[in-house]
Amino acid sequence: MSGFGRVALIGIGLINGSLARVLRREGAAREIVACARRRATLDRALELGLCDRATTDPLEAVRGADLVVLGTPPAAVVPAAAAIAAGLADHAIVTDVGSIKAEIVRGMQGVLPGPDRFVGGHPVAGTEHSGPDAAFDTLFVKRRCILTPTGTTDADAVATVRRLWELTGAQVDLMTPEHHDKVLAITSHLPHLIAYTIVGTVADLEDREKTDVFKYAAGGFTDFTRIAGSDPTMWRDVFLQNKEAVLEMLGRFSEDLSALQRNIRYGEGDALFDLFTRTRAIRRGVVEAGQAYVRQADDPLADEP
Ligand code: NAP
């Protein structure tokens, strides 16, 4: 089968909405059925042409589906799987797009009738915007999508989900859920935590200082506000569900921050210069790996959360 048959999208926001746009553009789904809690979300998805049918009933959404993509906030992924379990066809393949993987992959064991046909997934692409209106079909182009099959995951299911993401223009990598969570803790979760801290500190400043901050916000602070403007539900879930890896990275970060504090206090310019030279080389590595984009008004490629 070259297409994906009937596709059920549970949650139809930025990520599943963008996936829907790709499926539409490529004519790769016989039918797209969307499911969300609120009728308003579904009406908007229908208006935008993201789906053929829409329902608030998870069982109805997955009836006869060949492929199901769970695109709710992270903590709602396993409950959403539990809500669709009784309606799944035997051959249905289930995947998700949650930003954390170990807890989700573990959770599926207990709730899905065919857990081996579940493939954990995380497209490492996104913006700070949410909901069906935020979706666009080039979101995943040249970005990574990580799949986290376990030792018992069905090989055909992995191949189908890989094909789905390759269709979006993403490059697919496979790794264990635990490794995913460690890598993302440092590349994504810690930077978000730092942005939340810095922007939170500004929020606590005296009014007069705050006004100046907004007036003179240079690139650095503006970038932090963009990251800190990300969806609060999703990020609350990420930190609570990837607690161990985040706390480990935060421990290391705190030590490095203390060292930097000491360097500044004692005027250790050479140490600062050495660190900034090393970090500049890392930036070059990121650019060379094709993972840095210059944001322009007409360029939908955005930095990933
Ligand atoms: P989003 O735009 O907020 O969309 C979430 C969708 O799920 C909405 O349609 C929402 O509609 C529905 N929903 C919310 N809570 C639900 C629940 N308890 N049960 C059923 N449906 C529910 O979110 P998103 O940015 O697409 O993120 C979705 C997933 O992708 C998350 O797991 C996130 O970790 C992951 N992800 C996000 C990004 C990013 O940049 N945002 C990047 C990579 C991966 P209703 O509110 O009407 O139910």
The structural domains of the chain, ordered by start, are: 6-175 (3.40.50.720), 180-293 (1.10.3660.10)
Angle at 228 between CA 225 and CA 231, to 5 degrees: 130
pLDDT at 298: 35
The mean per-residue pLDDT over the stretch 276-281 comes to 94
pLDDT at 288: 85
53: pLDDT strictly greater than 60:
yes
The mean per-residue pLDDT over the stretch 35-59 comes to 98
Which amino acid does the sequence have at 62? V
181-213 pLDDT per residue, tens: 999 999 999 999 999 999 998 888 877 777 777
Cβ 102 vs Cβ 177: under 8 Å: yes
The residue nearest atom 35 of ligand 1, judged by CA position, is: 98
Strands 67-70 and 6-10, sheet pairing = parallel
Which atom in ligand 1 lies closest to the alpha carbon of residue 75? 32
Is 0.85 topped by the overall pTM? yes
Cα 184 to Cα 156: distance, rounded to the nearest angstrom = 26
Distance from residue 130's CA to the centre of ligand 1 (Å): 7
Distance from residue 263's CA to the centre of ligand 1 (Å): 42
Average pLDDT, the chain: 92
114-131 pLDDT per residue, tens: 889 999 999 999 998 999
Q: Which of 12, 15, 68, 96 should be mutated for ligand 1, with most atoms under 8 A from CB?
A: 15
DSSP 8-state code for residue 170: P
Q: Which of 70, 99, 103 should be mutated for ligand 1, with most atoms under 8 A from CB?
A: 99
The mean per-residue pLDDT over the stretch 75-99 comes to 98
Which amino acid does the sequence have at 230? S
pLDDT-based confidence at 295, cuts 50/70/90? very low
The dihedral formed by the CA atoms of 31, 37, 42 and 43, expressed in degrees to the nearest 10: 150
b/e code 16-43 from CB counts within 10 Å (16+ = b) = bbbbbbbbbeeebbeebbbbbeeeebbe
156-186 pLDDT per residue, tens: 999 999 999 999 999 999 999 999 999 999 9
Give residue ranges with CB within 6 A of ligand 1: 11-16, 36-38, 41, 71-74, 76, 80, 97-99, 122-123, 126-127, 130-131, 231, 234, 305
Cα 216 to Cα 219: distance, rounded to the nearest angstrom = 10
Q: Which of 9, 10, 12, 14 should be mutated for ligand 1, with most atoms under 8 A from CB?
A: 14
Helical residues (DSSP H) of the chain, grouped into ranges: 14-26, 39-47, 58-62, 77-84, 102-111, 155-167, 177-184, 190-203, 207-216, 219-228, 232-241, 243-265, 269-288
Cα 124 to Cα 145: distance, rounded to the nearest angstrom = 6
What is the end-to-end Cα distance of the chain in Å, rounded? 33
b/e code 177-204 from CB counts within 10 Å (16+ = b) = beebbbbbbeebbbebbbbbebbeebee
214-271 pLDDT per residue, tens: 777 777 788 889 899 999 999 999 999 999 999 999 999 999 999 999 999 999 999 9
pLDDT at 207: 78
